[in-house]
Amino acid sequence: MRKEIGSLIVSTPDLKHGRPRIADTGITVHRVAIWYKLGHTAEEIAYQYGHLTLAQVYAALAYYHANLDEIDAEIAADEAEADSMEQDYIKTKKTA
């Protein structure tokens, strides 16, 4: 059965904060992009998430590259928020 590439990536407002994800999974394009930016190949990412096919990983990477600036900005914002939360936690522990 032929799969249309457009059916491999979906987005639903009530799941994963509306972020694009691989259809029928909870794996977001952002998560795949992070692994990719860490130097992992598509094959390694598919292996890491044993339920993903190589086609699904490549679809996520294609979506990432087509929306690079937006997704990189969202990843950076997530990292900044996590860093801020960590610093707040450390300050709280020092004053307790």
Q: For the residues 53-61, what does the mean pLDDT come to?
A: 97
> Tens digit of pLDDT for each residue in 11-45?
998 888 889 999 999 999 999 999 999 999 999 99
Q: Reduce the DSSP state of residue 40 to 3 states and report it.
A: coil
Interatomic CA distance for residues 26 and 12, integer angstroms = 11
Question: At a CB cut-off of 8 Å and minimum separation 6, what does 61 contact?
Answer: 32, 33, 36, 42
* Domain architecture of the chain: domains with CATH: 5-95 (1.10.10.10)
pTM of the full structure: 0.84
Find tokens 């990843």 and name the residue.
Answer: 75
DSSP state of 91: H
Find tokens 């801020």 and name the residue.
Answer: 84
